Structure 1
Amino acid sequence: MSIDWKAYDPNGFYDELISAPGISRPAAQTLTDYLRSLGDAEIHERKQAAEHAIMEMGISFTVYTEGGNIDRAWPFDIIPRIIPRTEWSRVEAGLRQRLTALNMFINDIYNEQRIVKDKIFPAEVLAQSRNFREQCRGIQPTHGVWAHICGSDLVRDADGSFYVLEDNLRVPSGVSYMLENRQVTKRVFPELFENYSIQPVDEYPSQLFDMLASLSPRPLDYPEVVVLTPGIYNSAYFEHAYLAQRMGAELVEGADLVVCDDDCVYMRTIDGLERVDVIYRRIDDLFLDPEAFSPESMLGVPGVMRAWRAGNVALVNAPGAGVADDKVVYAFVPKMIRYYLDEDPILPNVPTYLCMDDKEREHVLANLDQLVVKPANESGGYGMIIGPHATPTQLEEFAELIKRDPRNYIAQPTLKLSTSPTLCDGHLEPRHLDLRPFVLQGVRTDVTAGGLTRVALRKGSLVVNSSQGGGSKDTWIVDTDTRD
């Protein structure tokens, strides 16, 4: 029995592959025709092949539980998501614009604070920021860039338009899964890569290394670049090791590095100390340097902030970049784009209510059962509430949280997130998804061709995070003039 696309119903949501029952979107026609030609046994074999590849390649993620940490195989759906290249060009331009403005904002906030003085950005929002680092004041990093790596989460609404849901600027994760998704899909559907002009993603590790190397304080052909990890128990350790290996960089922990009297960073090796030029750090600010931040930290490198301030080492992303990784600050990004670039935003924000504003808070509390409410600085889908899916008790508890700390909450309408055909118990069903493209900014800006598509595998769920039961798909940016 083959797939019957006439029986697949997106139920009024914008679907990435199917525009209506039985009708494929033009860019997806070759894919849907091919899937229809496969029988149930063949589809099952392809799914098993993907699962075996994931186990063989060791693709995993860690879930923190009360009883400890559990490593799980990466949840992957074999049906790719397709976006036409013509449509992606606009998204790419919007991401370049957005990250340029965000970096200008961060640099301004730690220096002149013009945007505050000109009353475009409220002083009280900055004053109550959890991620503003006083230790970063007056620093001017290379190229004026603080957030060298950004993963902005995008969603589509019912009309198919892309919106930015949030910006991840501290230690954005997930790019290794984007790369591995592509490798698994090539194993499962090698013939499809002959029939589609699919934009590659494989060059990301070399682009990442080139960007990191361009920040070196020493003019070397091959500067010493290291990836600083908290260690094997971190949920993203697979990614840390993966990227270090793909870049040919050393994977280090805090104890492997030392700052000497010359305010330079050195790596301990069997041949003695070796100077480090660039640190791609995957450790949060507060654990990075016990001299500058939390003195109890056993994960960081004492004195690394001194070395950075002296210009003897590059830190990526820069400490303090998280000041823009705040869902309240997110609401002001369109104003930042107009202020710094004198341009209209190419990619719109999702409409956002700030609970710190009295009138907007009244609206949120009166319509809590219809809105999505999020804390300003949580990630991974934690600490939020989806009004239409919440119980009266949960709504009441959240109302109290908002009243107690209004600066910490924003609210957004419940979007009709787009869907894509997903293999569920042997048959295809629509599942909601989002997209996290990755943007690199140094001397130039590079945007991945697509990104990490995350899928809410539970029926009706809008939560795509792997820690909350979500999965992932390969993302194809394709030329519409595909070969038959």
Structure 2
Amino acid sequence: TMPCELVLGNANYRPEMCGFNPPQGTYVHICGTDIVRDEKGKFQVLEDNARTPSGVSYVIENRHLMMRAFPDLAEGMRIADVDDYGRQLAGALSAVAPAGIDSPTVVLMSPGAYNSAYFEHVFLAREMGVPLVEGQDLVVENHKVFMRTTHGLAPVHVIYRRINDDFLDPKAFRPESTLGVAGLFEAYLRGNVTLANAIGTGVADDKAVYAYMPRIIKYYLDQDPILANVPTNICREPEGFQMTLDRLDELVTKPVGEAGGYGVVVGPSASKRELSELRAKLKADPANFISQPVVSLSVCPTLVRRAVEPRHVDLRPFAVTGDSTWVLPGGLTRVALRRGSLVVNSSQGGGSKDTWVVG
């Protein structure tokens, strides 16, 4: 189906997880899948986000702003509500608590105020009605997790973690981490606490793994994907490597392990120097890259300064899984604010729009 080394050599692969089965077999509790529509109107999957997908706070806040600023636009329209996300997420996470826990305590674990997504951490904790904690607020005793409170230690059963695997537990992963909790991983392996999403799910974020996803679906489910991937050249394979080298100035080339649009080179708009540097990197480490044709993303009218102009967009819907799967009736529509740009990532200057599901 795909090369073993693609998983075993992945920076997010955790061999310590082998043989471990999380509650209800759920590894990905919150998933955000980036979807694009090409010039022919065909929907395609551009990217998977299975580790710590972000952006849902903007979905809810965009809706609040729209309804306050333009309430007349919604008159007479049945627009699906997005405000239920926090309750749905809290319920889903409670459903995957360790066995035997009837009233689980769920917390959202953040790296702290200096993290770029801290606003979302605060927002979601409030929407979910759960405590927002940092590593220093938690402690592990007898392989169980507790939260420090003004009334003493309180047990914690489910942690919605917004911290990368490496920093979760200095005893198990990076010893210099001050963001995690010593002993957390062992408590997790013993089934005393649930982590969402599961450790190691970052493997599914890898763009090289994405390229094999249609084959994975066919192999395990004996089905064809409902939504096709964007055609992808896998540079670790000789044919894909040569195709990428031959058409470097025509393709979009991406490093497999990066996120947020970092390292992406759009061939038609790249300088000769950028293409030369990319060619050298590609030859030095082909397995670190994939390439794709330039997808002419669909456009949406966008207010830019004092004019309405077309700007390219994509859509990130969010799915939440506990004892069943629920999909947010809306999603994060990301918009490339620079004229002609195809990069919608907020870290690269992109914006977002309110997205309505009407019925």
Match among 392, 396, 421 for residue 272 of structure 2: 392
Distance 1:400 1:313 in 2: 46
Give the corresponding residue for 1:302. 182
Distance 2:237 2:70 in 1: 51
Provide the aligned length of Structure 1 versus Structure 2. Answer: 359
Distance 2:354 2:228 in 1: 25
**1:109-258 correspondence runs (5 A):** 120-217=1-98, 219-258=100-139
Distance 2:18 2:253 in 1: 32
Q: Partner of 2:351: helix, strand, or coil? A: strand
Distance 1:330 1:166 in 2: 7
Give the C-alpha shift of residue 128 in structure 1: 2.0
Return structure 1 stretches of 4+ with deviation > 6 angstroms: none
Q: Partner of 2:357: helix, strand, or coil? A: strand
1:135/1:292 contact within 8 Å kept: no
- Say which is worse superposed, 440-449 or 272-281, in terms of deviation: 440-449
Distance 2:150 2:273 in 1: 59
2:235/2:287 contact within 8 Å kept: yes
Give the corresponding residue for 1:77. none
1:279 aligns with 2:159: yes
Distance 1:441 1:331 in 2: 24
Letter in 2 for 1:451: G
2:140/2:146 contact within 8 Å kept: yes
Gaps (5+ residues) in structure 2?
A: none
2:91/2:322 contact within 8 Å kept: no
Distance 2:306 2:256 in 1: 39
Distance 2:345 2:263 in 1: 13
Letter in 2 for 1:212: L
Distance 2:171 2:340 in 1: 47
Distance 1:130 1:162 in 2: 30
Q: Partner of 1:339: helix, strand, or coil? A: helix
Alpha-carbon displacement from aligned partner over 1:377-423 (angstroms, at most 9, x marks no partner): 11111111000110011001001111111111000000110000001
Whose helix proportion is higher, 1 or 2?
A: 1
Letter in 2 for 1:311: G
Alpha-carbon displacement from aligned partner over 1:288-342 (angstroms, at most 9, x marks no partner): 0111100110000111111110000000001011111100000111111112222
Distance 1:282 1:399 in 2: 35
Distance 2:239 2:226 in 1: 28
Distance 1:450 1:122 in 2: 36
Distance 1:466 1:280 in 2: 23
Give the C-alpha shift of residue 220 in structure 1: 4.4
Letter in 2 for 1:175: V
Letter in 2 for 1:320: G
Alpha-carbon displacement from aligned partner over 1:58-88 (angstroms, at most 9, x marks no partner): xxxxxxxxxxxxxxxxxxxxxxxxxxxxxxx
- Say which is worse superposed, 386-395 or 337-346, in terms of deviation: 337-346
Q: Partner of 1:223: helix, strand, or coil? A: coil
Q: Partner of 2:114: helix, strand, or coil? A: coil
Distance 2:102 2:123 in 1: 23
Q: TM-score, normalised by structure 1?
A: 0.73
Letter in 2 for 1:159: K
Match among 315, 318, 326 for residue 198 of structure 2: 318
Letter in 2 for 1:424: V
Match among 331, 344, 356 for residue 464 of structure 1: 344
Q: TM-score, normalised by structure 2?
A: 0.98
Give the corresponding residue for 1:72. none
Determine which structure has more spread, i.e. the larger CA radius of gyration.
1
Distance 1:176 1:418 in 2: 24
RMSD: 1.0
1:440 aligns with 2:329: no
Distance 1:381 1:323 in 2: 18
Q: Partner of 1:135: helix, strand, or coil? A: helix
Letter in 2 for 1:306: E
Distance 1:121 1:233 in 2: 38
1:266/1:273 contact within 8 Å kept: yes
Distance 1:223 1:439 in 2: 22
1:415 aligns with 2:307: no
Distance 2:35 2:111 in 1: 28
Alpha-carbon displacement from aligned partner over 1:31-78 (angstroms, at most 9, x marks no partner): xxxxxxxxxxxxxxxxxxxxxxxxxxxxxxxxxxxxxxxxxxxxxxxx
Letter in 2 for 1:137: C
Letter in 1 for 2:171: E
- Say which is worse superposed, 150-159 or 123-132, in terms of deviation: 123-132
Alpha-carbon displacement from aligned partner over 1:439-473 (angstroms, at most 9, x marks no partner): 11221011111200010011001111112111111
Q: Partner of 1:458: helix, strand, or coil? A: coil
Distance 2:153 2:219 in 1: 46
Distance 1:242 1:221 in 2: 26
Give the C-alpha shift of residue 121 in structure 1: 2.0
Distance 1:461 1:125 in 2: 31
1:218/1:277 contact within 8 Å kept: no
Gaps (5+ residues) in structure 1?
A: 1-119, 480-484
Match among 133, 145, 149 for residue 269 of structure 1: 149
Q: Partner of 2:147: helix, strand, or coil? A: strand
Distance 1:193 1:222 in 2: 39
